[in-house]
Amino acid sequence: MNDYELLRSIAVKDPQAFRYIYSMYFGMVSCFVQKNKGNEEDAKDVFQDALVVVYEKTLRSDFSLQCSLKTFLYSVCRNIWLKKLSRTTSTAHLTDVEEYVSIEEENTANTEEQEEKVHAALQQLGDKCRQILTLFFYYKKRMEEIASELSYANADTVKNQKYKCMQQLKRIMTNG
């Protein structure tokens, strides 16, 4: 399986692709993390986070791989571990085991408290509403796609439903 086939398989959450990437590259990430004040468990956590990042990148229509998947994955893991290290240590100088590239990161302006508030509200929201909102905000699906996936009459119905769901979510958040 080449890198592009792997990315295509990751985009549809093919378990075989995730297992293949894990068996091929976890050793590398584990070596890197353990060389930089971490242990096997840290490496597993970093690897899972990195696979989520790779998966999310495949959801973006403007994403294209500019290096090998191995280098990309290593670079993502490096960023994640650097961020985790910088929370606990003042100087985070890394010992690298591979070449890496600069990865554009998506920043969230939310504090942990705000995130928790949204998460709690989402759990109280009905299944249909939660599905519409996650399909829209996380999976970046268009109204037509959501309509087809959730068996709504058309995109306008989804648009109205999404508005109502947002109102409901905001109400839950305000009422606590």
Which residue of 9, 33, 36, 47 would you call a contact of other proteins, by CB under 8 A?
47
Neighbours of 130 (CB within 10 A): 16
Q: Does 105 bind other proteins (CB under 8 A)?
A: no
Residue 122 CB, shortest distance to other proteins, in Å, is: 5
Residue 56 makes CB contacts below 8 A (sequence gap 6+) with: 106
Least distance CB 150 / other proteins (angstroms) = 15
Helix axes 40-59, 69-88, angle to 10 degrees: 120
Residues binding other proteins: number (CB under 8 A):
44
26 binds other proteins (CB under 8 A): yes
Does position 97 interact with other proteins (CB under 8 A)? The reply is: yes
Contact flag: residue 63 with other proteins (CB under 8 A):
no
Considering the rule CB under 8 A, would residue 94 count as an interface residue with other proteins?
no
CA–CA separation, 165 vs 159, rounded Å? 10
Helices first, then strands: H and E counts in the chain: 8, 0
CB 22 within 8 A of CB 30: no
CA distance 80 to 83: 5
- Asked if residue 134 binds other proteins (CB under 8 A), the reply is yes
Q: Give, in degrees to the nearest 5, the angle at Cα 43 between 42 and 49.
A: 90
Residue 140 makes contact with other proteins by CB under 8 A: yes
Nearer to other proteins, 68 or 110 (CB): 110
Pick between residue 4 and residue 139 the one whose CB is nearest to other proteins: 139
* Encoded tokens for 9: 């398989």
Complex with other proteins: residue 30 or 90, whichever CB lies closer: 30
Closest CA to 48 of 22, 85, 68, 69: 22
Which residues make up the interface to other proteins (CB under 8 A)? Answer: 13, 15, 18-19, 22-28, 30-31, 47-49, 51-52, 55-56, 97, 108-110, 114-115, 117-119, 122, 133-134, 136-140, 159, 162-163, 166, 169-170, 173
